[in-house]
Structure 1
Amino acid sequence: MTTLRFRGDGHGDGTFRVLQMADVQDGPDVDPDTVALIEAAIREAKPDLVVFTGDQIRGYDPAWMRTFLRRRGERPGDHVREVTRFEAWWRRTFDGARLPDPPESEVPDDAVDALLDDARAKVRRCFAGFLGPVVRAGVPFAATYGNHDFQCGILAGEQDGIYRESPGCLNPRDPGEHGADGDNPLVCEPGTFALPVEASDGSGRVAMSVVMVNSGDYATERLSPDDTVFGEPSSHLAPAEYARDPRGLDLADSDGYGTPTPQALAWLGGVQRSLAERNGDGRPVPAIAFQHIPPQEFYQCLKEVPPLTPNAVEGARTFAGRCYVLDRSVCRPGSILGESIGCADVNCGEVAALRDAGGYFALYCGHDHKNAFVGHVDGLDLGYAPTCGFASYGPKSRLRGIRLFEFRESDPSAYATRMLTYGDLVERYGHNEARVFIGDHLVVDGPTLRDQLRRPGVFATLALLAGMAVSAVGSAVKAATARKRQ
């Protein structure tokens, strides 16, 4: 495996650059604007490592309708979302897209294997699209998983193997996987592992660690002992298997988001002990963690404000009914809050585990496509990268971007970070501004509608249109009254 090392002359002041790419979230044919942004960011940053922090795959894309999983544990294609059916119809009708027909009923057992083979081929095509610039540049990369990756029907463990088919992939084999290198303390499970970064002097000392965490996908109810999944009793399933969503809703977070597994939470401390033993000094190694779904502590980077505050956003689920803006006293300049923080309904204790382990100085996430803030809370940086993709909702084209980190060997915790945006690196507008506009103004419920109305530009536009409509109605009434008098 590739050895990551600080650049430098061996005198302890080397540098190490990382690019965080969040929420590519695309189908088999990755949007050209996404690829252009990745290419431009690599040219600009000349990174030593690229990390993908989940939702690389748009698992609910119509291309994967036949194998779609709303929750793990379902049969492929049993519960295709109505919005996916509508999108498939729209793309066939107006774009001439060649897409599979949605299953009209449960997929027959004898058809599942062939459908999954087709899904794997599409996953490889998707990976080739967004990994192409990384592989061509010869930059090592690592990937963890979000709440949409598995929904294509190919689960994280198998996706790990597909990633490893590409040169430069640093995702290690799961300890329980055939061919794995025994009991590797740096590996917990697919998407949860540590990448040591050695000192520039070639001594092998670990100067920093990049930690990838699989933050889970959805929270659902447990299966009863009498239920079955793929013909197996639920009592035979691993604890991480999820039940079928009993509510039958389309919304992504209808049952709330998931959290890292208990094994991963315990491992966060164990991997620090392993790295300390490797260095022989017993001290935790400076470490930055990357994952997809943010924990609840990200709300500590915000402050509650009255509902009519411009640009405020409403909290979600556990934090619903309250409005927030960035707390500028804890957030770095240039931070952006564009939407609610989509965390789990429960606090699993991950941030506390990071603090207790020692050495961790930052946790960065994706998931919430419009957020790009960095806050400092109780000794730990909590930050976001917005979506770098153009096939899903997000901010304006010019604000979609990739986060750059530069660490110094002498003190990795005193890192510099900034956004490399499409507007700065490529151009102001993408090639499908209609889709971007819809994604920037997406309304799916009352809170998102109210969030839009709190945006001064949106409110002013609607007020102007309303004024014009009132004026037009008034003119029509006056004209009608005048005609009657005649």
Structure 2
Amino acid sequence: MSLRFNSDGTFRVLQMADIQDGPDVREDTIRLIEGAIRKAHPDLIVLTGDQIRGYDPAYIDTFLRRRGEQPGTHVRAVTEIEAKIRGIKRHPIAKTLTKSQPSDERWMIDGIGTDSPKLVKSAGRNGSASKLESWAEAINRATAASLLDETRQKVRDTFAAFLGPALESRIPFAATYGNHDFQCGILADEQDDLYREFAGCMNPVAGSSPLALEPGTFALPIEASDGSGRITMSVMMVNSGDYADTADAGDGNGRQSVTEYAKYAANSRGWDLADSDGYGTPSPEAVEWLKRVQRELGRRNGDGQAVPAIAFQHIPPQEFYDCLREVPAYTPNAVEGAREFAGHCYVLDRDVCRPGSRLGEAIGCADVNVGEVDALREAGGYFALFCGHDHKNSFVGHVHDIDLGYAPTCGFECYGPKSRFRGIRLFEFREDNPMAYVTRMLTWGDLVGRYSSNELRVFFEDHCVTDLIGVRNELRRPQVSATLLGAGAVTCGAIGYAVRGLLRKSQ
């Protein structure tokens, strides 16, 4: 399947960011997707990561905080709490394995099929293991595989739900990955295979051509409308990694050093979020590929020239902070930076940002700059890089000779802005000048209405805080500070009235 500009010289793309849901995708999320498709009539849909809520209790038996872990180990405390609230119980065998995880192959499981399986030790190779233990070992392996099979089906169900409107409308789609997708236990390469089970999937097999580097990193050329086959522009999908390592840890894509992993494993509940070491980055191979692929597209066109290109990924690079302006901490609606940018407060720089831009939270970039934006500039042709990841942000700024922008969450199962600001970003390109594109948000407020079906939940997600930075950011919101001041005044008045009454009675 090839992509081509329409006969009127237009090509429309919808960016869906951070659906972040379990197998039962929220109806409001589906309604928003349906409304955006009806409104835009897109030629392509790009999914920019965190389609899967990997920490959802549905995946509790196969959950991964980090790639390379034993599935189901070190489950987040918030996931366990949510599982109890929803009445989801862990599989007995999964629970037993994650408690002990013996490295000695002589350990097996006894009590398969009961509510209290336990680890037992065989007599070893030179001894005589019981038939029960040998049978238990075989059943355990089958059960572990079965748990992953169940998760694969749940991932399929999730895909089928949010892809439903696109499949019904026969719209091609492409997907890359975020920091939560893999946490369900099914890694990106397998998820790529699952996506390709659905009609219209544009994800190529990794390594199948110079345009396909790895799962989530590939180019989608868009040909001219005249049928000549000339590539007029390209959509680049980039896998931006998931979680970073400490300085001595390795490749920066989620694998920890032995020392750091031991610390993490010993106090996994204390390190409840896998981003304790910060977020990941595109691999060095991906950064180099962004330059190399432009040469390949130029070769295919026969002129060696870079083609106009827009890149999509999940986690933003540090240059996104250059779209902001530092302000005093008491500035209304300012947000405090995260990690390397902590202690500094920011608002949008209106001189570089497009009208309608919104800043709702800190930019959750990696602690290191791997030179991705520099690579885009060096390669030529790239005119924009759009991300997701930070659910409350929807700004577009022009810095470093390139547009840097966001789409906010389009999901209703995760944290984010008010209902009316959740949405899907529309891009409209013209064949005669793709760089002069038009983009705007298609929001719930415009497509559906002001409120969602569960506005109490959305209110909590909009004001949810997990650290002191979040508390300070909330206090900078005028409505929040005014409400707190009003409540404080009423409380003080009530206390004063009660004290005055007590004094009168004592006289």
Aligned-pair identity (%)? 65
Report what 1:68 is aligned to.
63
Asked if 1:304 corresponds to 2:326, the answer is yes
Report what 2:162 is aligned to.
130
Of 274, 295, 300, the residue aligned with 1:273 is 295
Q: Which amino acid aligns with 1:215?
A: S
Please list the CA deviations of residues 285-318 of structure 1 after superposition, one character each: whole Å capped at 9, or x if unmatched.
Answer: 0000000000000000001000000000000000
For 1:348 and 1:3, locate their aligned partners in 2 and report how far apart those are by CA, in whole Å.
Answer: 32
For 1:51 and 1:352, locate their aligned partners in 2 and report how far apart those are by CA, in whole Å.
Answer: 24
Report what 2:152 is aligned to.
120
Deviation at 1:484, TM superposition (A): 0.6
Rate the CA distance shift 1:324–1:101 in 2: closer, same or farther, 3 A: farther
Report what 1:178 is aligned to.
none
Q: Which amino acid aligns with 1:81?
A: R
For 1:431 and 1:151, locate their aligned partners in 2 and report how far apart those are by CA, in whole Å.
Answer: 28
Asked if 1:395 corresponds to 2:417, the answer is yes
Please list the CA deviations of residues 20-73 of structure 1 after superposition, one character each: whole Å capped at 9, or x if unmatched.
Answer: 000000001100000000000000000000000000000000110110000001
Asked if 1:147 corresponds to 2:179, the answer is yes
Report what 2:97 is aligned to.
106
For 2:339 and 2:273, locate their aligned partners in 1 and report how far apart those are by CA, in whole Å.
Answer: 13
Answer whether contact 2:244 2:254 (CA < 8 A) is retained: no
Answer whether contact 2:66 2:254 (CA < 8 A) is retained: no
Deviation at 1:90, TM superposition (A): 2.0
Which protein has the larger Cα radius of gyration, Structure 1 or Structure 2? 2
For 2:281 and 2:70, locate their aligned partners in 1 and report how far apart those are by CA, in whole Å.
Answer: 23
- Mapping for residues 280-291 of structure 1, pairs under 5 Å: 280-291=302-313
For 1:479 and 1:41, locate their aligned partners in 2 and report how far apart those are by CA, in whole Å.
Answer: 59
Report what 1:317 is aligned to.
339
Deviation at 1:361, TM superposition (A): 0.2
Q: Where does the alignment leave 5 or more consecutive residues of structure 2 unmatched?
A: 102-139
For 1:124 and 1:292, locate their aligned partners in 2 and report how far apart those are by CA, in whole Å.
Answer: 21
Report what 1:192 is aligned to.
217
Of 260, 263, 270, the residue aligned with 1:246 is 263
Deviation at 1:241, TM superposition (A): 6.5
Give the 3-state SS of the residue equivalent to 1:246 in structure 2: helix
Deviation at 1:89, TM superposition (A): 1.7
Give the 3-state SS of the residue equivalent to 2:384 in structure 1: strand
For 1:114 and 1:223, locate their aligned partners in 2 and report how far apart those are by CA, in whole Å.
Answer: 36
Of 82, 88, 94, the residue aligned with 1:87 is 82
- Mapping for residues 351-370 of structure 1, pairs under 5 Å: 351-370=373-392
Give the 3-state SS of the residue equivalent to 1:106 in structure 2: helix
Please list the CA deviations of residues 129-171 of structure 1 after superposition, one character each: whole Å capped at 9, or x if unmatched.
Answer: 1000011110000000000000000000000000000000000
Please list the CA deviations of residues 431-461 of structure 1 after superposition, one character each: whole Å capped at 9, or x if unmatched.
Answer: 1112111110011011100000000001111
Deviation at 1:253, TM superposition (A): 1.9
Q: Which amino acid aligns with 1:399?
A: F
Report what 1:205 is aligned to.
230
Asked if 1:219 corresponds to 2:244, the answer is yes
Of 34, 38, 55, the residue aligned with 2:50 is 55
Give the 3-state SS of the residue equivalent to 1:411 in structure 2: coil
Q: Which amino acid aligns with 2:148?
A: L
Report what 2:3 is aligned to.
4
Of 483, 487, 490, the residue aligned with 1:468 is 490
Give the 3-state SS of the residue equivalent to 2:370 in structure 1: coil
- Mapping for residues 341-356 of structure 1, pairs under 5 Å: 341-356=363-378
Please list the CA deviations of residues 321-359 of structure 1 after superposition, one character each: whole Å capped at 9, or x if unmatched.
Answer: 000000000000000000000000000100000000000
Please list the CA deviations of residues 362-421 of structure 1 after superposition, one character each: whole Å capped at 9, or x if unmatched.
Answer: 000000000000000021000000000000000011110000000001110100000000
Answer whether contact 1:223 1:242 (CA < 8 A) is retained: no
Rate the CA distance shift 1:377–1:241 in 2: closer, same or farther, 3 A: closer
Please list the CA deviations of residues 87-118 of structure 1 after superposition, one character each: whole Å capped at 9, or x if unmatched.
Answer: 112223xxxxx554685443476232111011
Q: Which amino acid aligns with 2:377?
A: R
Answer whether contact 1:142 1:170 (CA < 8 A) is retained: yes
Report what 1:228 is aligned to.
none
For 2:383 and 2:398, locate their aligned partners in 1 and report how far apart those are by CA, in whole Å.
Answer: 10
For 2:395 and 2:329, locate their aligned partners in 1 and report how far apart those are by CA, in whole Å.
Answer: 21
Rate the CA distance shift 1:271–1:441 in 2: closer, same or farther, 3 A: same
Q: Which amino acid aligns with 2:229?
A: G
Give the 3-state SS of the residue equivalent to 2:493 in structure 1: helix
Report what 1:77 is aligned to.
72
Answer whether contact 1:314 1:321 (CA < 8 A) is retained: yes
For 2:147 and 2:246, locate their aligned partners in 1 and report how far apart those are by CA, in whole Å.
Answer: 28
Give the 3-state SS of the residue equivalent to 1:461 in structure 2: helix
Give the 3-state SS of the residue equivalent to 1:294 in structure 2: coil
Answer whether contact 1:63 1:100 (CA < 8 A) is retained: no
Comparing 447-456 with 83-92, greater Cα deviation is found at 83-92
Answer whether contact 1:198 1:208 (CA < 8 A) is retained: yes
The RMSD of aligned alpha carbons is 1.7
Give the 3-state SS of the residue equivalent to 2:311 in structure 1: strand
Give the 3-state SS of the residue equivalent to 1:451 in structure 2: helix
Deviation at 1:240, TM superposition (A): 5.6
- Mapping for residues 335-484 of structure 1, pairs under 5 Å: 335-484=357-506
Deviation at 1:221, TM superposition (A): 4.6
For 2:84 and 2:254, locate their aligned partners in 1 and report how far apart those are by CA, in whole Å.
Answer: 32
Q: Which amino acid aligns with 2:396?
A: V
Answer whether contact 2:222 2:232 (CA < 8 A) is retained: yes
Answer whether contact 2:46 2:173 (CA < 8 A) is retained: yes
Q: Which amino acid aligns with 2:218?
A: F
For 1:204 and 1:279, locate their aligned partners in 2 and report how far apart those are by CA, in whole Å.
Answer: 8
Please list the CA deviations of residues 182-214 of structure 1 after superposition, one character each: whole Å capped at 9, or x if unmatched.
Answer: xx1101100000000001111000000000000
Report what 2:197 is aligned to.
165
Answer whether contact 1:5 1:198 (CA < 8 A) is retained: yes
For 1:221 and 1:105, locate their aligned partners in 2 and report how far apart those are by CA, in whole Å.
Answer: 31
For 1:165 and 1:291, locate their aligned partners in 2 and report how far apart those are by CA, in whole Å.
Answer: 22
Answer whether contact 2:314 2:389 (CA < 8 A) is retained: yes
Answer whether contact 1:71 1:245 (CA < 8 A) is retained: no
